[in-house]
Homo-oligomer: A and B are copies of this chain.
Amino acid sequence: MKLQRRICAYSHAIDMIQYDGVTGAPGNTAANRGASLSVLSEDVYRMTTSEETVRLLETLDGQKEALSQKEQRMVHLLYKELRDMRKIPMEEYVAYQALVVEADDVWHTAKNTSDFPLFRPYLEKIFATQKRFAEYIEPDKDPYEHCLSQYEEGLTVGTLDHFFDTLRTQIVPLLSAVTKKPTVDDSMRHGHYPIAAQEKLSRYLMELMGLDLGHVGLAVTEHPFTTSLGSHFDVRITTHYYEEDFISSMYSVIHEGGHALYDSGSADDLAYTVLDGGTSMSIHESQSRFYENIIGRSRAFCDFLFPKLRELFPESLRTYSAEDFYRVVNKAEPSLIRTEADELTYCLHVMVRYELEKRVFAGELEVGDLPAEWNRLYRDYLGIEVPDDRRGILQDSHWAGGLIGYFPSYALGNAYGAQFLARMKETVDVDGCIAQGHFAPVNDWNRKHIWQYGQLYTPAQILDRVLGQPFDPQYYLDYLRDKYTAI
């Protein structure tokens, strides 16, 4: 327990310094943060791989039967992490921590100036390091599968190829049918929405969703994200405001709010242990995208929220109705930016990234050729031309932060969410609650079945427990078909 408290405190420090780097820090301080982060991550490495820790975990692992289920899971996660860590030479681990800090800083500049060559050497190093680390840890496994399983235990390329094929064969014809319909007028997204009113909307949504603002904060960053600091008692979400379009920030807040609900929903006795927080990225995304899309873009929620929106933005929304709002936020068409994509095309964006990561890892593609391949796949999958790297290969922060193998989680999360919804509807009148702005019954269901367990169960165990039947992407495809056919 003491070791876990220390790990949490060091994570707090490291995450805090990184969070500050993208929120309050002055522009030229990345190298200064890098200096401190190198020292702290070196000490984390020492602490988690010391002979004392090894002896401790070996001893505990050898006496499993004397431990509670919770303690067994703690030992399992710590021991696995330890064995993985000890396979990476410390200097390489520390150098990598400094690399991602610097890379993130360079990525910001590269994105703003649409300058891929500036970012390229960093991305090359990140891909190379991730691959090398994968080979250190699981030399007999396909390195990309190792990356995938960091975010989703046991996920394979075979499973994903099949999953994405299933999605593609049904989504592409559905999208084609939808785009044949008359275009939705989205002039609402080119209005004037004062930032101060959008900030009020953010607070309103967070409270409506049931987030405890005493424990969940909001800040503004280039790219929205969620992070926990030290424990689930301090969670931060971020958003990005655009004066001409409140919808972008609004759905970022709901999406990140979903992550924050999951993170802060861990049982309190999991705090300051490795079991605190979400069990995998796909289960995390199942929650964030559940709130963002299944709830947030539902007719019930749009009807409920519209009067509040009219109150906050009386001038710009004067001529629009709740029906207009519902149609605008569900407008489906091929587009450039993943985070702004509609539910129908979203998974196609993910597939592009999955294909590229897989091929770079397989040595079939050079990092330098990524922009051209990115643009080709957007043409292939979405039938759209990418005008510049800012809106292409440079749009996401993930690779700059070393998150390779993460993107498929979004697509899996979408699909899990739809199957969770079917289960939830067996006992909760979801639309009825949402139509009245009552999130409590929905939150209670998620807390009871998912949030409270933190990392006590593996993602596969959570799915088993919640679904009572195997995962089946057809729930998601049916959900999309029903929704978009009706629209």
Question: A residues engaging B (CB < 8 A)?
Answer: 5-6, 8-10, 12-14, 16-17, 19-20, 23-29, 31-33, 35-40, 43, 212-217, 219, 229-231, 233-234, 236, 272
Q: Could you jot down 6 A-B contacts, CB within 8 Å?
A: A9-B38, A13-B17, A23-B24, A24-B217, A29-B233, A43-B43
CB-defined contacts of A36 to chain B, threshold 8 Å: 8-9, 12-13, 229-230
Residue of B nearest to A41 (CB): B9
Contact of A6 among B9, B39, B236 (CB under 8 A): B39
Q: How far is the CB of A38 from chain B (nearest CB, A)?
A: 8
Note all chain B residues with C-beta closer than 8 A to A219: 24
Q: Which of B5, B29, B212, B216 contacts A234 (CB 8 A)?
A: B29
Cβ–Cβ contact A231 & B32, under 8 A:
yes
Nearest neighbor of A212 in chain B, beta-carbon distance: B28
Contacts of A17 in B (CB 8 A): 12-13, 16
Q: Which residues of B contact A229 (CB under 8 A)?
A: 20, 29, 32, 36
Q: A35 to B5, Cβ gap below 8 A?
A: yes
With both beta carbons as reference points, the residue of chain B lying nearest to A216 in the complex is identified as B26
A32 CA / B6 CA spacing, docked (Å): 13
Q: In the complex, what's the smallest C-beta–C-beta distance from A326 to chain B, in angstroms?
A: 32
Contact status B33-A230, CB under 8 Å = yes
Q: Chain B residues near A217 (CB, 8 Å)? A: 24-26
Given contacts A9-B38, A28-B214, 4 further A-B contacts (CB under 8 A): A19-B20, A26-B216, A26-B217, A28-B212
Expressed in whole angstroms, the minimum distance between the Cβ of A355 and any Cβ of chain B is 38
Q: Check B214–A33 contact: CB distance below 8 A.
A: no
Among B13, B28, B231, B272, contact of A40 (Cβ-Cβ < 8 Å): B13
**Cα distance A300–B31 when bound, in Å?**
39
Q: How far is the CB of A62 from chain B (nearest CB, A)?
A: 27
A14: nearest chain-B partner, CB-CB: B13
Q: How far is the CA of A31 from the CA of B25 in the complex (A)?
A: 24
Question: Bound complex: CA of A237 vs CA of B39, how far in Å?
Answer: 25
Roughly how many angstroms separate A35 CA and B9 CA in the complex, as a whole number? 7
Contacts of A9 in B (CB 8 A): 35-40
Query: How distant is the Cα of A230 from the Cα of B14 in the complex, in angstroms?
Result: 13
A39 and B272 alpha carbons, distance in the complex (Å): 12
Residue of B nearest to A37 (CB): B9
Chain B positions within 8 Å of A216 at CB level: 26
Chain B contacts for A231, CB-based, 8 A: 32, 35
Which chain B residue shows the least CB distance to A8?
A: B36
Residues of B within 8 A of A20 (CB): 16, 19-20, 229
B213 with A27: CB separation less than 8 A: yes
Q: Which residues of B contact A272 (CB under 8 A)?
A: 35
Distance of A35 Cα from B230 Cα, bound (Å): 8
**Could you tell me if B32 and A230 are in contact, using CB atoms closer than 8 angstroms?**
yes
Q: How far is the CA of A229 from the CA of B31 in the complex (A)?
A: 12
Query: Which residue among A8, A12, A216 has the maximum number of chain B CB atoms within 10 Å of its CB?
Result: A12
What is the minimal beta-carbon distance from A269 to any residue of chain B, in angstroms? 14
Q: Are A27 and B230 in contact (CB under 8 A)?
A: no
Q: Roughly how many angstroms separate A13 CA and B17 CA in the complex, as a whole number?
A: 7
Which of B5, B27, B236 touches A24 (beta carbons < 8 Å)?
B236
The residue in chain B whose Cβ has the minimal distance to the Cβ of A29 is B234
A465: min CB distance to chain B, Å: 29
Q: How far is the CA of A370 from the CA of B27 in the complex (A)?
A: 44
Asked whether B236 lies within 8 Å of A27 as measured between CB atoms, the reply is no
Contact status A234-B39, CB under 8 Å: no
Nearest-CB distance from A23 to chain B (Å)?
Answer: 7
Closest chain-B Cβ to A336's Cβ sits at a distance in Å of 31
Given contacts A9-B40, A13-B13, A17-B13, contact A213 B26 (CB under 8 A): yes
